[in-house]
């Protein structure tokens, strides 16, 4: 009985008692659902949890708020992030990360949950490696460009926003027999352009992963025009070129009057879809479980419908590739 009690006290002594959660980098719909799930799971497990406002900048500024079961009530349906977000150049330095670790220790924070994209997760990994701070990453980015997860938080909502806007543009394009060049986000990844273009039947999709042949695209659109097509939608990821550049290449060669629409940051906003709310909730819950099981330095990922934990080093050492079958399919169906 004494041995059992001693073992129990030992187990309790190494349990994490206080953690922090933060959102960093570009916001994504569903981040609030992940915050909510992490907070309520932590509270249920008797773990104290604080929120860090404004990402790594807020960490260095010691901008912390106490989180409770009640404080995250009613936030799941809200877009953006209640903890807000920002970029932080100081945290990109070794000295900045060291100071961040010292601040966490000063407040008795034993572990950190970071919700964000590639840059945010890289910062979390370096903080952990350099200063022995336990971290768990949650992928939140509308670009869906994080390796080893089928979907990131915010992608589904973003796509629904883009698709809804393109569908409206198709209506007016048909009425006036015009071509619309629609620029969507995606500096290094063409996932948003490819998926939204497929879902709306766009006549052409331009993504950074494939070299652009303006002559071939123009010829294709002109031939469709001659066959009686009365409208045209070209979806272009911002990493390829601006919509204005694409329009200059196209407008005198495709037989349509051309209009430009740049969707911009509207793609980041809006109430998250059911898919994003559930995905984010699962990831937030799983992040706390990973901390309890001391599975540190991992990212929560969705693979084949299941939550899995992938080492951050593995995630960040690889570049997620666009599915080539989707690219081939887009050429056939457009």
> Which tens digits make up the pLDDT trace of 154-171?
999 999 999 999 999 999
For residue 4, pLDDT beyond 60: no
Task: Identify the helix (H) or strand (E) that includes residue 162.
Answer: helix 155-176
Q: How confident is the model at residue 11 (pLDDT cuts 50, 70, 90)?
A: very low
Tens of pLDDT along 140-157?
Answer: 999 999 999 999 999 999
pLDDT digits (tens, 9 = 90+) for 233-279: 999 999 999 999 999 998 888 888 899 999 999 999 999 999 999 99
Which is nearest to 264 in space by CA: 172, 170, 142, 178?
142
Average pLDDT, the chain: 93
pLDDT for 170: 93
- Please compute the mean of the pLDDT values over residues 282-311 and round it to a whole number: 98
Q: Sign of the C-alpha dihedral, residues 270, 274, 276, 277? A: positive
Taking only the tens place, the pLDDT of each residue in 75-119 is 999 999 999 999 899 999 999 999 999 999 999 999 999 999 999
Q: What is the pLDDT of residue 14?
A: 56
> For residues 239 and 208, is the Cβ–Cβ distance under 8 A?
yes
Question: Beta strands of 140-262 (E only): which ranges?
Answer: 178-184, 204-206, 232-237, 257-262
Q: What is the pLDDT of residue 193?
A: 98
pLDDT at 256: 85
Of 27, 61, 132, 143, the catalytic one is 143
Q: How far apart are CA 127 and CA 57, in angstroms?
A: 14
Residue 15's pLDDT is 87
Sign of the CA dihedral with 146 first, then 150, 153, and 156 last: positive
Q: In order of start, what are the domains of the chain with their CATH numbers?
A: 18-154+272-317 (3.40.50.450), 155-268 (3.40.50.460)
Question: What are the angstrom distances between the C-alpha of 59 and each of 13, 37, 87, 195, 299?
Answer: 26, 21, 12, 36, 20
Q: Decide if 143 is catalytic.
A: yes
Greatest distance between any 2 Cα atoms in the chain: 88
């Amino acid at each position: 009985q004494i041995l059992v009690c001693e073992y129990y006290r030992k187990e309790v002594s190494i349990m994490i008692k206080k953690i922090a959660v933060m959102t960093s980098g570009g916001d994504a719909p569903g981040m609030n659902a992940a915050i909510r799930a992490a907070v309520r799971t932590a509270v249920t497990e008797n773990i104290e949890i604080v929120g860090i406002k404004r990402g790594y900048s807020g960490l260095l500024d010691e901008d912390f708020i106490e989180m409770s079961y009640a404080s995250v009530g009613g936030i799941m349906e809200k877009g953006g992030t209640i903890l807000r977000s920002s970029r932080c150049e100081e945290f990109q330095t070794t000295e900045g990360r060291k100071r961040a670790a010292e601040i966490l220790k000063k407040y008795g924070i034993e572990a950190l949950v970071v919700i964000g994209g590639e840059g945010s997760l890289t910062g979390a990994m370096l903080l952990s490696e350099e200063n022995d701070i336990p971290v768990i990453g949650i992928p939140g980015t509308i670009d869906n460009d994080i390796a080893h997860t089928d979907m990131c938080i915010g992608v589904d909502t973003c796509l629904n926003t883009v698709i809804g806007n393109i569908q409206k543009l198709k209506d007016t394009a048909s009425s006036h027999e015009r071509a619309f060049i629609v620029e969507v986000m995606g500096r290094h990844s063409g996932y948003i352009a490819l998926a939204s273009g497929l879902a709306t039947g766009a006549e052409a999709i331009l993504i950074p992963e494939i070299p652009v042949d303006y002559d071939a695209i123009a010829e294709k659109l002109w031939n469709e025009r001659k066959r009686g097509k009365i409208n045209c939608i070209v979806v272009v990821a911002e990493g390829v070129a601006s919509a204005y550049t694409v329009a200059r290449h196209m407008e005198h060669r495709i037989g349509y009057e051309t209009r430009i629409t740049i969707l911009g940051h509207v793609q980041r906003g809006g109430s998250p879809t059911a898919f994003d709310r559930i995905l984010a909730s699962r990831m937030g819950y799983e992040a706390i479980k990973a901390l309890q099981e001391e599975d540190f330095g991992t990212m929560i990922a969705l693979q084949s419908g299941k939550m899995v934990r992938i080492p951050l080093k593995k995630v960040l050492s690889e570049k997620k590739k666009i599915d080539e079958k989707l690219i081939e399919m887009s050429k056939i169906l457009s």
